[in-house]
Structure 1
């Protein structure tokens, strides 16, 4: 026992030396591995992080794929306007978009299919991460399919209002006189369901990374809203909570597509009304440094 007691401090000291050596070695190897990659940067912006890096690192089916090693560049020279014309055009567009409202009373009057195709094509001009264009716009005009969509949405929305959403959320929506009844899903001549493609499918069946897919699709949705306003059509932005999987199956969309937004589209009903809302003035939304 006496011998053990005498050795204990020595063993403890030796153990500390070993642990310190291992720590310094592991730290040094980490620095060396980072030094080898001069472009190493830790991920810092959690708001912009999506499943892109997860697919790249962890998915055995993912594969880097380039149709062309170098994308050719071509001259680009958009119209350049005199300052007076720029100011007038910007004011005209502001006036047009200031009239945009969320409209829940939509006319069943038919809308030319060409117009719908054009506004969706316009939405497809949005920028996207690495030009992956990770969007699918599903246009529904079939009455039976529209009704099936309404049944799915209303069932889930009633649960949302009664159980999932907090009292404050429900009270805020009550001011706008909105609830889980979505009659416009039957009435509107078109429903446009926007799906984000969480990854692409390559010709060889492998998965292609879609960088910032949700942000990219959100930008295209904004352009779509502007395009609809430009042709005199109305909609209400709908993000049907907990309906995505059912609607994806109903519309026979693949597993890599996730529902982001649902838009009923048409002319406003003759008796349509909207809440008398005011928008923030410029000084409340613009910071000029």
Structure 2
């Protein structure tokens, strides 16, 4: 009996034992191989992430990217020996504080999003003051993660409008849900955006995810999204205070094209596009109301 015949005879007469051995071997191999893969994956995740300690008893661990530096290169974003100076704002009486809070509320209660702009030019220096005011906003570790691009050139405004309208046609037709489009109907907003070329100025707010130190190393920006959001709120308040109006436009899927058009670097992302100016004499706004104080505030 040759080897092949012996093998066939053995398999035929011991098939149950052979198949059982194969199944057991395959199961053991799969289990061990799975554990090896999971262990390698966990090691890779651990190597990539640098976790901060929890803040307080209920804090959540957050992962922040390292700034590609070893400990000798870990220096603060601003000088460590920055002096702390006395803070002495003007002290106001209680009745004045109360009155000023009422006055400011009345001012901001009249703020509306406007889609119809007068072609009247904005007085010289106003836009610069608005941007300086937005620049007073707080930011994570004082990294000031914002860039404000002011556009007044008619050709550039038209180019921005063309990009936004091209993307908005796709947004309304394919990208946005039907409910989203339905919710916008009371505001009469459409893919066409004439105010982008009609307003005397466009103010584009870019968020810097990071920047660069003088030595060429990356400077991380912490909480850049909320920092820019706070700055945008201060900017809108300043626009209202000086008697102008704006439209809080968030052009969906336009970031890359507008960033390239305006020659902004890859570490910046467009968060807000604000047409700014005076309202057109025939401008209208939806007759809507805001939530009451009881709906938005809880006292504990």
TM-score normalized with structure 1 length: 0.81
Tell me how far apart the structure 2 counterparts of residues 155 and 118 of structure 1 sit (CA, whole Å). Answer: 33
Structural mapping, 1:112-261, within 5 Å: 112-261=123-272
Task: Report the counterpart of residue 97 of structure 2 in structure 1.
Answer: 86
- Structure 2: runs of 5+ lacking an equivalent: 1-16, 18-27, 29-34, 36-45
Q: 1:1-20 maps to which residues of 2 (within 5 A)? A: none
Using the alignment, how far apart are the partners of 1:65 and 1:143 within structure 2? Answer: 44
Q: Encode CA deviations 1:146-188: one digit per residue, 9 max, x unaligned.
A: 0000000000011001101111110110111111110000011
- 8 Å CA contact 2:131–2:148 kept in 1: the answer is yes
Q: RCO greater where, 1 or 2, for CA within 8 Å and sep 6 or more?
A: 1
Where in structure 1 do 4 or more consecutive aligned residues deviate above 2 Å? 39-46, 63-67
Aligned to 1:129, the other structure's residue is in SS state coil
Deviations 1:215-235 (A, max 9, x none): 100000000000000001001
| Structure 2 residue 40 is matched with structure 1 residue 40 | no
Give a deviation string over 1:45-103, Cα, whole Å, max 9, x none.
58xx6xx712x17x579x63335222210010111211111111000000000000000
Q: Which deviations, in whole Å up to 9, do the C-alpha atoms of 1:185-212 show, x marking residues without a partner? A: 0011100000000001111221101000
Cα 1:45–1:270 change in 2 (3 A) is farther
Equivalent position to 2:119, from 108, 118, 132: 108
Structure 1 stretches lacking a partner, 5+ long: 2-11, 13-18, 20-29, 31-36
CA RMSD of aligned residues (A): 2.7
- Cα-to-partner distance string for 1:106-128 (whole Å, 9 max, x where unaligned): 11110013011101100000000
Measure, in 2, the Cα distance between the counterparts of 1:146 and 1:84. 47
Instruction: Establish whether residue 267 from structure 1 lines up as the match of residue 278 from structure 2.
Output: yes
- The structure number with the bigger radius of gyration is 2
Q: TM-score, normalization: structure 2?
A: 0.78
Between Structure 1 and Structure 2, how many residues are aligned? 252
